[in-house]
C-alpha cells in the first residue's frame, strides 16, 4: 500500500500526523508523507477518511 497527499487539497490541519506520525508530518502549512509505504502500524484507510479535505490518496 502506498500513500500520497494531494498538496493542493491539503490544509495542514494535522489530523493525519496525529493519527499516524510514522507516515505523516506537517511542515509549514502542508502535510508530507515521510514514509510512503509505512502504513503498517496504523489504519491508513481510517486516516484517509478522517482527512477533512480528502487529500490523502491510498494506492494498493
**What is the set of domains in the chain, with CATH numbers?**
2-59 (3.30.70.20)
7-31 residues labelled b (16+ CB within 10 A) or e (exposed): eeebebbebbbebbeebbebeeeeb
Question: Residue 1: is its pLDDT beyond 90?
Answer: no
Q: Can you tell me the distance from the alpha carbon of 28 to that of 37, in angstroms, rounded to the nearest whole number?
A: 23
Question: What mean pLDDT comes out for the span 33-39?
Answer: 87
Phi, psi for 22 (deg, rounded to 5) = -70, -25
The radius of gyration of the chain from alpha carbons, rounded to an integer in Å, stands at: 10
pTM: 0.88
Question: Residue 60: is its pLDDT beyond 70?
Answer: yes
Amino acid at each position: 500500500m502506498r500513500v500520497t497527499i494531494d498538496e493542493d487539497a491539503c490544509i495542514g490541519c494535522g489530523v493525519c500526523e496525529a493519527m499516524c506520525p510514522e507516515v505523516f508530518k506537517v511542515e509549514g502549512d502542508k502535510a508530507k508523507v515521510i514514509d510512503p509505504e509505512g502504513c503498517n502500524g496504523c489504519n491508513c484507510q481510517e486516516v484517509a477518511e478522517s482527512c477533512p479535505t480528502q487529500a490523502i490518496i491510498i494506492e494498493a
